Amino acid sequence: MLSERSERIFKRAKELIPGGVNSPVRAFGAVGGIPRMIAKAKGSRIFDVDGNEYIDFIGSWGPMILGHNYQPILDAVINTAQNGLSFGAATAIEVEMAELICSLVPSIDMVRMVNSGTEAVMSAVRAARGFTGRDKIIKFDGCYHGHSDAMLVKAGSGVMTSGVPDSAGVPKGCAEDTLTATYNNLESVQRLFEQHHNQIAAVIIEPVAANMGVVTPVDGFLQGLRRLCDEHGSLLIFDEVITGFRLGLTGAQGLYRVIPDLTTFGKIVGAGMPVGAYGGRREIMQMIAPVGKVYQAGTLSGNPVAMAAGICQLKILKETPEIYQHMNQLGDRLRKGLQTVVKGGQVTGIGSLSCLFFTDTLVTDGTTAKQSDTAAFAKYFNYMLENGCYFAPSQFEAIFLSNAHTQADVDCVLNLAEQYFKS
């Protein structure tokens, strides 16, 4: 497979952009080789500047749930853009988005739009601190909640891959208020609640962890978190930036029937435009400026073009329940098929989120996820890439399916995997 043009552009990129990328997960640091420079995408396919075609299993890390370059969304963007790209003033389309999110997700009475998942989490945490008058937050080893200071502690995926436990530049004081518990381990949470009595503002979690590979919650774990938060007067924040509108219209909270106080969204909610959102109980959201004392703002928040894209995508998901059926079936087929051919590994996941770990140890949390043989992953990744399947260049990311993927796409992966593990 040719990669001359990608190589040439990447060489220039490294001179001008740190690591040649605008987000570390795009670099091929963990798998070797150079990132392919992407020129365009359509449906389940992505094309690089050397003219190579791949079946894409990243989907821009989740937003492209209807497949790339989906015509109705493209039309919505173009039509809306004709009225102006941004006004920095209140618009009707923001109200339409808020109505849609509140009607789809029962735990959300009010919502605020922002520009990224990072911003959504940062703001939700601030709201939780403002509401409870407490400072400390509990997060889980291996869960990623964006790159705000307080959340860069045991932060999964990109951080996990580069082997940096925390980030430089995060003040000690910021990290001190972030306590870390073990995913799927209620006792580790209970202990922190006891040690820091009446100081925990919130527990934040990816209800299905998708930034340490994919790790699903064991029975009763999320329910147990709800109970602990209630007992200690703390808020429960579900970071559904990946799972929101992916594991069904009501996300992981609907699937597992656990109601958080606050929820964060990103990725799918913007359909590929830079959008995030946070929302929840009315009395908490009333804490946000200009009604309340928790300040949070954004010049481009609720951007009309971005709202048009997101609304279009959410409406299609709402009106077409077969989409989730289709993706879940493909996910099941992928997981079952991979599990039968893989040697020395295990397949995890739920719905349209999957992961292949290269370890026999049962993966239930950050520590066991890290036992995966990342060199074996890198070899497998490069084989798949060379054969036209584009997976995330890190062990600790999900395999994303979209509605544009077909059974033939999945079977292509299964056939390649069978050959790979045979030899």
Ligand X SMILES: *Cc1c(COP(=O)(O)O)cnc(C)c1O
> Which residues are annotated as catalytic?
144, 239, 267
Q: Please identify, using beta-carbon distances, which residue of 278 and 342 lies nearer to ligand X.
A: 278
Q: Please identify, using beta-carbon distances, which residue of 18 and 72 lies nearer to ligand X.
A: 18
Q: Please identify, using beta-carbon distances, which residue of 116 and 346 lies nearer to ligand X.
A: 116
Distance of closest approach, residue 210 Cβ to ligand X, in angstroms: 6
Distance of closest approach, residue 394 Cβ to ligand X, in angstroms: 13
Q: What count of other Cβ atoms lies within 10 Å of the Cβ of residue 293?
A: 8
Distance of closest approach, residue 239 Cβ to ligand X, in angstroms: 5
Distance of closest approach, residue 257 Cβ to ligand X, in angstroms: 20
Strands 276-280 and 262-265: antiparallel
Q: Please identify, using beta-carbon distances, which residue of 56 and 206 lies nearer to ligand X.
A: 206
Q: Locate 323 and state its tokens.
A: 């989409």
What sections of 58-214 are H helices per DSSP?
A: 71-81, 92-104, 117-132, 157-161, 172-176, 186-195
DSSP secondary structure letters along 22-55: SSGGGS-TTT-S-PPPEEEEEBTEEEETTS-EEE
Q: Secondary structure of 263-312 in the HEC alphabet?
A: EEECHHHHECECCEEEEECHHHHCCECCCCCECCCCCCCCCHHHHHHHHH
Which residue is listed with tokens 């989907």? 59
Chain positions contacting ligand X, by CB under 6 A: 116-118, 121, 144-146, 206, 211, 239, 241-242, 266, 276
- The CB-nearest residue to ligand X is 117
Residue 154 near residue 142 (C-beta atoms within 8 A): yes
Strands 346-350 and 353-357: antiparallel
Q: Please identify, using beta-carbon distances, which residue of 243 and 364 lies nearer to ligand X.
A: 243
Distance of closest approach, residue 207 Cβ to ligand X, in angstroms: 10
